[in-house]
Structure 1
Amino acid sequence: MKGINDGKTAERILALMSRKNYRPLKRRQLALLLGRAEEGKYEAFKLTLKQLVASGHVVKGRGNKYDLAKRARTVVGRLVMRGSNYGFVRRGGGLGMVEIERGGVGGAMHGDTVEVEITEVQPGKPPRGRVVNIVSAGDRTAVGTIVETRYGLYFIPIRGGVFPEVPVVGNKKGLKHGDLVTVEFVRDRRKDFTARVVERLGDGAAYSSTLEAVLRAFEIPRAFPAEITAEAARAASEPLDLKGRKDFRPLPTVTIDPDDAKDYDDALSLERTPDG
């Protein structure tokens, strides 16, 4: 089971909760029933139960009692915003998604892990609900582009942009259409989903700004791991094997690649011939 350290204990917990006569129990009660309450076993049991909650298989409800997510009236998952005040929650374990009704996100933000109370279930449609608790906060920042419309400035994220344009609030001085920026997601007085610019990276038409934005948005490492650097140094120190190869290094070489190119492959070597 993905994300679970002790798969056997997890299966026993789920099997117990799947019984028709099961009623939500507290953690210690579950451990006693499964023979995991004694010292040396209880800590591992607590971790497994916590991982089941994080994966969306189990929910922790009122009175700190645990139940199967698919049977409970509350579920836990990651919030994905699709507008300023609505979206959906992705549940783990292949349990599908829960639509969050308009105005039902509370103070939660895009990327937060939240607990959702199911408010409506219809055959053939995803269940609907509202956020009742923020389990853990996600990353409240994003990198993207500023767009200017007749309604004002909006932000479009480079990565994970499943929600539409987010209105920009706060200090907008110097911002223009096409700028690349880092924003912090915030709630305004009406609890609408908005973006506040915390850093301007530059013009979106500039190569350097675009490269910086992509590196940040996709969290691309800026340096090679130490073991790779060490391997490259070892390879560079070894003598070249020129067997079956012709050495053109003494020839003068020019490249027609632009100054800011990262891959110099359009190169020409020149050699004066006897006939000029």
Structure 2
Amino acid sequence: MSNKRKTNRGKKSSGPSKSRLPKKSRKKLFAKNNPGAAFFKRRRKDTAKKEKYIAEYTGTISLTRDGYGFVTAEGLQEDIFIPQKRLFGALNADTVKVGVRKMGSDGLRMEGDVLEIVARSKKPYIGILQILGKQAWVIVENKVMPYDISIPAGQADPKDQGKKVAVIVRQWHKGMDAPTGEIVDILGEPGDNNTEMHAILAEYGLPYRFSDEVENAAAAIPVKIEEEQIRERRDFRDICTFTIDPADAKDFDDALSFRKLENGNIEAGVHIADVTYYVRPNDTVDKEALTRGTSVYLVDRTV
């Protein structure tokens, strides 16, 4: 079974092919279509180990659509350019160790090699699940990911064929024809509004669902106001008070009040909800709130 990859950067293949080729031919085809995977065809001692490096750094690599990458390391004011043939299996957002071969000068960047994959990125890739017999692949949408991701047999449900999914790379090393990954979420049918919004949030590591634990904790918060709280606060319930939040807001925590005083003056009140009353330090809701401290606005929702 051959897995047709991108024949050139930025263009996607149609996914797994139904034609069969001998294993040796499949490997040759894969190497031809994926020059960045040459790491798996030659020993590191033939390249990296023979180099004498000026310096070594550990940082995060960012790949481009053209196949090369840049490593940002703590303490460096500039990033390190990594040619495609020197990536040695690194994928976008991986933590890598790099050796610098050329120092930057005359406006040029430092240039180096990836020496080691320190840690694979935990950020998911978004793609379409394709199942053919016992084989499954995620056809990745991200242009900086040069490979489609293989899903181990039995880990893809046939009913999810053609759906958009989030997948994390679990293995990608010498001797493998393609990265192997794990589907961490079934997002839904491509083109559906919720599916596409969840895909955007998932790709950028933003929350788009609440866990059952958080949902249950929120549902258990009492809505009845205790008499003690009423005695300790000023009661505006008999005064015309209205929210200024729009009808589609996720929370209604800002309000204005209005009343005419006996001396003829108009009193306008500005009110902010005491949301913290319902949240206790280090409880389930509090911990979830810490992960959502920054509001992210999409076209139809706020996270």
Alignment TM class, shorter chain as reference: 0.3 to 0.5
Q: TM-score, normalised by structure 1?
A: 0.45
Q: TM-score, normalised by structure 2?
A: 0.41
